[in-house]
Chain A
Amino acid sequence: MAEVLLHIEQLSKSFPMPGGRLLTAVENVSFTVETGSVCVLLGPSGSGKSTILRIIAGLETQTAGAVRLRGRPIAGPGRDRGMVFQAYTSFDWLPVGKNVEFGMKINGVPARERRERAARFVDLVGLTKFIDAYPSRLSGGMRQRVAIARTLANAPEVLLMDEPFGALDAETRWQMQELMVDIARDSGATIIMVTHDIEEAIFLADKIVFLSSHPGRLREVIVPDFKPAERIRNKERVLELPGFGQLERKIMRMMREEGERV
């Protein structure tokens, strides 16, 4: 197995509730994320999967435990952990190209290098024709492509995605999933994605971290090893693999059990 990039160690998070009680969202969750792999956090609502991702991003502070990136504990948000959100985050006042340059600009990348890198990543997400367009002219799927390109162009060590395709229609969603396969294969990015879409999880993941709900605990780490080592871009070809349906049914059963437990 490849080298470990991120250690999530006995992570817990509780929120104070009105009335002085504590709500435990995440309890004692540990897993690792390997360099260049796609790790998917999957679970029913209330399993704390977004909270875990936000702690990794440095946007929330854990109550106990630690997140280590290459052994160093993380403290606050930083450019080494870029994040793509479900809500659209394009900067409406900047054209697509300048949106993608934004992270590099504030981090002092020289103008020429910035433009070249931006052009490359705009091309990677298939928006070269729209590089000078304002985001308000783009569809939802295209805006998410801008957000992905902007984050990747900033060269983070890990790409964090919080239900990035949750607001998209079904067709756009599988196109974006196939784009993510391209990105994982071509850029070698390390990706952690939160989703509640079982099919999306199995299609994209090298490792599925399945969380149970109320409180969010680690239930099982699933490696979909029915998939071949090289990534397959074509979604129906992955759906055709004999192991797919079996794993999908297994995870659906786990989801159902979580639902019945509440």
Chain B
Amino acid sequence: MASPPGSRNAGVLRVRAPVSPRQSAISAVGIWVVFFGVWTLANRMGWVNPILVPPPDQVLKTLYTLFAEQGFASDVLISVERVLVAFAMACLVAVPLGVAMGAFPAIDVVLSPFVSAWRYLPAPSFIPILLMWFGTGEAPKLALLFLGVIFFLITLIADHTKEVRKELIETALTLGAGQRVTVLRVMLPAVLPSIVTAMRQMLAMTWTYLVIAEIVASTTGIGAMMMRARRFLHTDEILAGIIVIGALGLVFDMAFAALHRRLFPYLQESR
């Protein structure tokens, strides 16, 4: 039997076919309903050991108790502070260096071989020496977070700055701009949206290093709480910590997205 023309393109999965807002909302909620449903079911049916995998409602109760009765908020604040301080220091160094590398090949050929080499060294491998240098205070944790993102951030910003179109630079030069004006008034504003996007990506990575730092060498912070909980088989607290880290990551990501829209209104109009 011959099928009608075009029938091969019917069905749910069509390449690049647009999806209605309703379908995408239902899908987004649905996947989480399924996730928690399977989790609850596994507990009810006794498929998993409740000591290792506590049911979701218990994790949520524990999350409430942690904040209400056990002063977990101060751990969360310490963690947030570590991320923000280390990340701000990394940005303060990376933005000027990255833009300078992207603008001036003479600077790029000096710094690029150095920065690229460091990028391949996993930051956690510095933990033992950082502990010896900085002791057990805040310094080694901040240093780890800083080292973890700084080289990626510099490279990303330098690459984005190199992508600023030649015609924009030549326009500035033929309007009478010198080197300084060309970099600060044309290249920098042109690359700024990409810099903020790079920051957004690297902030997520800072959270990864935070957990490593707090698990390995800290008595405070979300990661340290989770390691304490492990000693007493409090899996519900560990899972609650994971949820908090995930939620914080999401909040910061959304904040950066909002900042991006706020700073660059001209990018919205074309979409």
Check B170–A79 contact: CB distance below 8 A. Answer: no
Interface residues on A, range: 20 to 34
Name B186's closest neighbour in chain A (CB-CB).
A91
**CB closest chain-B residue, reference A135:** B266
Inter-chain CA distance A78–B178, complex, in Å, is: 9
Known interface pairs A59-B173, A78-B176. Does A106 touch B185 (Cβ–Cβ under 8 Å)?
Answer: yes
A-B contact pairs, 16 of them (CB 8 A): A57-B174, A77-B170, A78-B174, A83-B171, A83-B174, A85-B171, A87-B165, A91-B168, A93-B190, A93-B264, A103-B175, A106-B175, A134-B266, A135-B266, A151-B174, A160-B174
Question: B96: CB under 8 A from chain A?
Answer: no
Is the beta-carbon distance between A59 and B174 smaller than 8 angstroms?
yes
Query: With A and B bound together, what is the CA distance between A116 and B190 in angstroms?
Result: 26
Q: Which of A91, A154, A160 has the most CB of B within 10 A?
A: A91
Q: Counting CB contacts under 8 A, is A92 at the interface?
A: yes
B167 at the interface (CB under 8 A from A): yes
Instruction: Name the CB-closest residue of B to A103.
Output: B175
Q: CB of A63 within 8 A of chain B?
A: no
- Distance between Cα atoms of A150 and B266 in the complex (Å): 19
Total A-B pairs, Cβ < 8 A: 72
CB distance from B183 to the nearest CB of A (A): 12
Whether A136 sits at the interface, judged by CB under 8 Å, is yes
By a beta-carbon cutoff of 8 Å, the part of chain A in contact with chain B is 57-59, 77-79, 81-83, 85, 87-89, 91-93, 102-103, 106-107, 134-137, 147, 150-151, 154, 160
Q: Distance (Å) between the CB of A161 and the closest chain B CB? A: 11
Q: Is B92 part of the contact surface with A, judged by Cβ < 8 Å?
A: no
Instruction: Evaluate contact between A85 and B167: CB separation under 8 angstroms.
Output: yes
* CB closest residue in chain B, given A54: B170
Q: Which residue of B lies closest to A147 (CB)?
A: B171
Bound form: Cα–Cα A165–B181 in Å = 28
Whole-angstrom distance between the Cβ of A168 and the nearest chain B Cβ:
16
Residues of A within 8 A of B174 (CB): 57-59, 77-79, 81-83, 151, 160
State which of A89, A91, A134 has its C-beta within 8 Å of the C-beta of B189. A91
List chain B residues, Cβ under 8 A from A57: 170, 174
